[in-house]
Chain A
Amino acid sequence: MNDSEIFEKICECVRAAGDIGDLEITPDLSVIDDLGMDSIDLVDFTFQLEQTFSIQFPLDEMEERTSREMGDVPFEIDSVLTPEGLEHLRKSLPEVPPERMFEGMTVYDLPKLIAIESICKAVKEKLEEKSSSVS
């Protein structure tokens, strides 16, 4: 499946999960701020992605991966991202404009960073993982 096919299918999942009317979906749009999804829409969106691509998105995966990559360095203290946490986030999400990741940011702000492009990247990684585990 090429990038454009992945993007189109993700757009179908967005339309199935959210109430976005005729809004044109572009890769830079944030699923929360721009597409207006709330927590239950995000759960719906995740289910739609899992079903459409036959992949799994465990909810604690991002947390686990971050903790693995950062080792003993704390990602957050009292829910506020540490400077190292912020730096890690910027490296992990290069597609997100840096100004959206600011000092004093909390873990509760993280879902707002999710853009369609980030989803495309995550789905692509999952599909590659799946095909390499099959072969």
Chain B
Amino acid sequence: MDFGLQGKTVLITGATGGIGVELSKGFLREGARVVAFCRGNEQKIRRWENEVDEVSREVDWLVVSADIEKREEIIKGLELTREKFGDPDILINNAGYEYERPFLMMPEDEIRKQLNINFLGPTFLMQEVMRGMVIRKSGSIVNISTVAARRFGRGISAYASAKSALERLTKILAVEVGRKGIRVNAVAPGLIETRMSQGIILRRGDQIIKEIALERFGKPLEVVNAALFLASDEMASYITGHVLAVDGGIGL
């Protein structure tokens, strides 16, 4: 299957996370040039580099240490991106941060951090990246949301609300920039086997699995395939403002 992503520049945030690494590998396999935005944990970055190196022999990638909570770091990261590859053709807003705690016990700094990473950071990134897309009249953005943006979410009020806002923004932007040739979509994963979901799978996995139509948890690659599809102008040229659930039919 040809997604037509060869030579496209793809910016992926949260690139060192469970889904982020697989996203990088997936786009590299398709011949895209990957710019991996990640927060400056050297050890995680080295591990990321080792993992993606095996699929990147014929294509190029760039690791950018950028905290998307800080707009100046986003701008600096984009300058480095443009120097090496030019403006991004595709943006995957994958970075996410979740802090589980009952709402009444949620510390203010954690509420702010979750809004920053899950909503404001992606918002500012879209503002910065869309400029080039508007000029070129082409571009694709995929925001990684969560099933909890629309249902469930006990104990993850700030995270779920921020992702909800991101989904709403996805639809609004799809309308606003559609006629400039830019598509904006989202993927809403259910419970995927990553470190981020490890806690809930360990605590309530047996109970939750009964609510999943496919009776299993998802794999990062299954989210990647949805993101590749939506990012691709070949495959999803007439799809915008859509939130694609990759959740195994949870809670149907």
Interface residues of A (CB under 8 A from B): 16, 19, 40, 43-44, 47-48, 51
Give chain A residues whose Cβ lies under 8 Å from the Cβ of B135: 16, 44, 47-48, 51
Residue B134 at the A interface, CB < 8 A? yes
Interface band, chain B: under 10
Set of chain A residues within 8 Å of B180, measured between Cβ atoms: 40, 44
Expressed in whole angstroms, the minimum distance between the Cβ of B240 and any Cβ of chain A is 15
Which residues of chain B have a CB within 8 Å of any CB of chain A? 131, 134-135, 176-177, 179-180
Q: How far is the CA of A49 from the CA of B134 in the complex (A)?
A: 13
CB contacts (< 8 Å) of A16 on chain B: these are: 135
Query: CA A40 – CA B137 in complex, angstroms?
Result: 12
- In the complex, chain B residues whose CB is within 8 Å of the CB of A19: 179
Closest to B135 in A: A47
Contact status A40-B131, CB under 8 Å: no
Q: Please, how many angstroms separate the alpha-carbon atoms of A43 and B131 in the complex?
A: 9
| A–B pairs, 15, beta carbons within 8 Å | A16-B135, A19-B179, A40-B134, A40-B176, A40-B177, A40-B180, A43-B134, A44-B134, A44-B135, A44-B180, A47-B131, A47-B134, A47-B135, A48-B135, A51-B135
| B134, B176, B179, B180: most-surrounded residue (chain A CB, <10 A) | B134
Q: Which residues of B contact A43 (CB under 8 A)?
A: 134
For residue A47, give the distance in angstroms from its CB to the closest CB of chain B. 5
> How many Å lie between the Cα of A51 and that of B25 in the bound state?
34
Give the residues in chain B near A40, CB-CB below 8 Å: 134, 176-177, 179-180
What's the Cα separation between A132 and B131 when bound, in Å?
28
The chain B residue with its CB closest to the CB of A43 is B134
Q: How far is the CB of B171 from chain A (nearest CB, A)?
A: 16
> Within 8 Å CB of B179, what residues of A?
19, 40
